Amino acid sequence: MELSKFELKNLRYKAKGKFSRAKEMFFPSSESLQQSTPEAIALYRAQRLAGDTIIDLGCGIGSDSIALSQFCKKVIAVDVDEKVLKCAEQNAEVYGRKNIEFISADFEELDLQKLKVSAVFSDPSRRVNGLRVKALDQTVPNTLDLIEWIQAQKISDFAIEVSREFKSEEILLDCEKEYISSNCGNREHELNCLTLYFGKFKQAECSLVLVPENQKLISLEKISITLKPQSLQTYLYELHAGIDRAGLYSELLKQLPETFYFQPNFLTSNQLLKNVFFKNRFQVVGMTQTEAELILKLQELQAQKIVLRGKIPEEKYAELKNRIESNLHGTQKVHVFFGKPFLICKNLDLI
């Protein structure tokens, strides 16, 4: 069913955080917008894939194809859904891109040698029957089958987007695993996607990049290091989620003086530091063993509201928070890390 003018206008409004020309773009459905690559990420990745003729298999509304067309001589945009492909053509016109050829076909019907393709990009759908899937063999098309088909077509240089939920050690393929994070729409940096680069596109074993700042952390070698937790110090640093997924703790620690691994996604130090890969910086102001001691310490700190962090069962979160806050009458907001002991911290980046 074709979208009404109101529905299209609403989707264009929602797309403002993703695309610079959102007010002119076309979307066949809300799902197509949700699954589209933000412009800043598409442009970053397109620079890595620059070359002659590249094919975008499963191009969707065309965001990746449009970005690729700025860095490649020619882009072939392919999608089996003609309605979606029509929107991709319209969006290419919006962005003034003339070097994109659009083909409606299943990828298995194509001959990449006849099309004179030098590289491949694909972002298989990770939504099946409305649910998100992670496994490579559950995507549409099957990612493992797609890789096998690309290689059978004698193409060695390609990139494929997969679920960002993978940890780097779970991907056993010979490729670079790059986690890409964005703050599109002025939101806090979020892990957006994981791209696998094969052939000449592989520049490292694993990497994490912040877009649009292009701040990057890389590991050149496949090294598995188990870090031992250290005792808590004055400051606690919450890391970007990509550090843990990519296993880049050692690479980050090399950049930081006197800073230690505390637990997954956290470092600790007696020095107050800044780093682009810190999500939050906390000062530890107390530790208690019991909830009663916690309440007394929070009262001493003039707390009014608390932010509970850690592994707390969802059904218990609200009850625990309300029970503690009912005993508080101050003015401050304090972060409490749930566990044994309770850690009481102030977020230094929100003061």
Bridge partners (DSSP) listed for residue 332:
303
Alpha carbon distances (Å) from 127 to 35, 123, 134: 9, 12, 9
> Given 163, 179, 201, which residue is the final one in a domain?
163
275 belongs to a structural domain? no
Q: Does residue 192 form part of some domain?
A: no
pLDDT digits (tens, 9 = 90+) for 284-299: 999 999 999 999 999 9
pLDDT at 186: 54
The overall average pLDDT reported for the chain is: 94
Closest CA to 236 of 256, 210, 257, 260: 260
Q: What is the mean pLDDT of residues 333-350?
A: 91
CATH code at position 40 = 3.40.50.150
Residue 323's pLDDT band, with cuts at 50, 70 and 90, is very high
3-state secondary structure of 318: helix
- Residue matched to tokens 């980046």: 349
For residue 263, being part of any structural domain is answered with: no
Residue 84 lies inside a defined structural domain of this protein: yes
Mean pLDDT comparison of 48-62, 224-238, 326-340, highest-scoring range: 48-62
Q: Is residue 50 part of a domain?
A: yes
Q: What is the pTM of this model?
A: 0.92
Mean pLDDT of 202-227: 90
Confidence of residue 128 (pLDDT cuts 50, 70, 90): confident
Total domain count, the chain = 2
pLDDT tens, residue by residue, 247-306: 999 999 999 999 999 999 999 999 999 999 999 999 999 999 999 999 999 999 999 999
Q: Is residue 267 included in any domain, yes or no?
A: no
Q: How confident is the model at residue 187 (pLDDT cuts 50, 70, 90)?
A: low
Where does a domain end: 122, 142, 163? 163
Q: Is the pLDDT of residue 18 over 80?
A: yes
For 158-248, where are the alpha helices, taking DSSP H only?
Answer: 241-246
Tell me the backbone φ, ψ of residue 56, rounded to 5 degrees: -105, 105
CA distance 44 to 35: 17
Does the residue 326 lie in any domain? yes
- Cβ 280 vs Cβ 347: under 8 Å: yes
Residue 13, pLDDT > 80, answer yes
Range of the domain at 83: 5-163
CB burial readout 124-135, b (16+ within 10 A) else e: bebeeeeeebee
| 343 in Cβ contact with 309 (< 8 Å) | no
Among 130-134, 174-178, 345-349, which range has the highest average pLDDT?
174-178
Answer with the one of 103, 132, 163 that is the final residue of a domain. Answer: 163
Nearest to 227, CA basis, from 264, 258, 191, 201: 264
* 291 and 147 co-located in one domain: no
214-224 tens-digit pLDDT: 899 999 987 66
**Confidence class for position 1, pLDDT limits 50, 70, 90:** low
pLDDT at residue 284, rounded to an integer:
97
For residue 147, pLDDT beyond 90: yes
pLDDT of residue 190: 85
Q: What is the per-residue pLDDT for 112?
A: 97
* 248 part of a folded domain: no
